[in-house]
Amino acid sequence: MAKALIGHLNSDLRDPRLAADNARLRNRVAELESLVLRLSEDNDRLMAARAAELLNDPQEMQPA
């Protein structure tokens, strides 16, 4: 099994198209991970701002 995995991992070295595709996909994954992190930080910031607004406005905290 280990031999099969090693062969699979090194197969992109034999074919330059696979190596290029692999590099392109790795870059895209890194871009998407960065985007997820940025959006998560934005969401946390917006949630904190909204929580502060709710705490400062007692009218919104009362039951309907």
Kindly provide the b/e burial profile for residues 4-39, where b requires at least 16 CB atoms within 10 angstroms of the residue's own CB. eeeeeeeeeeeeeeeeeeeeeeeeeeeeeeeeeeee
Write down the pLDDT at residue 13.
58
Write down the pLDDT at residue 33.
98
Amino acid 42 reads D
Write down the pLDDT at residue 18.
87
Q: What is the pLDDT along the chain (64 residues), one digit of tens a residue?
A: 566 656 665 555 578 898 899 999 999 999 999 999 999 999 999 999 999 998 887 676 566 5
Write down the pLDDT at residue 9.
59
What 3-state class would DSSP assign to 16? helix
Structure tokens at 44: 């946390």
